[in-house]
Chain A
Amino acid sequence: MTTTAPRRTLAWAAPVLAALIALPFVVPPYQTVLLTYGLVFAIAALGFNLLLGYTGLLSFGHSAYFGMGAYAVAFIVKYAKLESMEAFLLGGVLASGAVAAVFGVLCVRYTKIFFGILTLALSQVLWSLAFKFFWVTGGSDGLRVPTPTLLGGAVRAGSDKFEFLSHRYYFYVLAVFVVAVALMWVIVHSPFGKALQAIRDNETRAEFVGVQVRHYRWVAFLISGMFTGLAGALWVPLNGLTTPDILHWTFSGKIVFFTVLGGFQTFFGPIVGAVIFNYLETYAVGHTVYWQMVLGIVLVALVLVLPAGIVGTVRRLLARPVRAV
Chain B
Amino acid sequence: MDILVVHLLNALLYASVMFLIAGGLSLIYGVMRIVNLAHGNLYAFGAYVTAWAVGRALGTATEASLWLYAILPVGAVAAALLGALLEPTLLRPLYRRAEEYQLLITFGLLLILEDVMRLLWGPYPLQASALYEALGSFTIGESIYPSYNLVVIMVGGAAAAGLWAFVYRTQFGVVLRATSQNMRMASALGVNVNRVYVRAFTLGCFMAGLAGAVIVPQQGAVLGMGVDALILAFVVVVIGGLGSLEGALIGALMVGLVREAGITLFPEIELAVLYLMAAIVLLIRPAGILGRA
Residues of chain A touching chain B, judged by Cβ–Cβ distance below 8 Å, are 52, 58, 60, 106, 109-110, 112-114, 116-118, 120-122, 124-125, 128-129, 131-133, 249-250, 253, 256-257, 260, 289-293, 295-300, 302-304, 307
Known A256-B104, A290-B119: A121·B278 in contact at CB below 8 Å: yes
Q: Find out whether the CB atom of B279 lies under 8 angstroms from the CB atom of A122.
A: yes
Identify which of B104, B110, B238 gathers the most chain A CB atoms within 10 Å of its CB: B104
Q: Find out whether the CB atom of A290 lies under 8 angstroms from the CB atom of B279.
A: no
Known A116-B103, A121-B278, A125-B272: A300·B112 in contact at CB below 8 Å: yes
8 Å CB contacts to A: which residues of B233-248?
Answer: 234-235, 238, 242
CA distance A60 to B104 in the complex (A): 10
Q: Find out whether the CB atom of B111 lies under 8 angstroms from the CB atom of A292.
A: yes
Chain B residues positioned under 8 Å from A256 (CB to CB): 103-104, 107
Q: How far is the CB of B10 from chain A (nearest CB, A)?
A: 20
Contact of B282 among A110, A125, A297, A307 (CB under 8 A): A110
Nearest A residue to B234 via CB reads A117
Q: How far is the CB of A40 from chain B (nearest CB, A)?
A: 22
Number of chain B interface residues as a range: 35 or more
Chain B residues positioned under 8 Å from A131 (CB to CB): 271
Mark each residue of chain B from 87 to 110: 1 if its CB lies under 8 Å from any CB of chain A, else 0. Answer: 000100110010111011101111
B276 at the interface (CB under 8 A from A): yes
B261 at the interface (CB under 8 A from A): no
B57 at the interface (CB under 8 A from A): no
Nearest B residue to A116 via CB reads B103
Question: Majority SS of interface residues in chain A?
Answer: helix
Known A60-B103, A117-B282: A300·B115 in contact at CB below 8 Å: no
Identify which of A118, A121, A257 gathers the most chain B CB atoms within 10 Å of its CB: A121
27 contacts between A and B (CB under 8 A): A106-B279, A110-B282, A117-B238, A120-B231, A121-B279, A124-B231, A124-B275, A128-B269, A132-B267, A132-B270, A133-B268, A253-B37, A256-B107, A257-B107, A289-B123, A290-B115, A292-B111, A292-B114, A293-B116, A295-B111, A296-B111, A299-B105, A300-B105, A300-B108, A300-B112, A303-B94, A304-B90
Known A121-B278, A256-B107, A300-B108: A113·B231 in contact at CB below 8 Å: no
Q: Find out whether the CB atom of A113 lies under 8 angstroms from the CB atom of B99.
A: yes
B286 at the interface (CB under 8 A from A): yes
What would 16 more interface pairs be, CB under 8 Å, given A112-B99, A293-B112? A52-B100, A110-B282, A114-B286, A117-B35, A121-B238, A125-B272, A128-B271, A132-B269, A132-B271, A249-B231, A253-B110, A260-B104, A293-B111, A295-B111, A300-B105, A300-B112
B66 at the interface (CB under 8 A from A): no
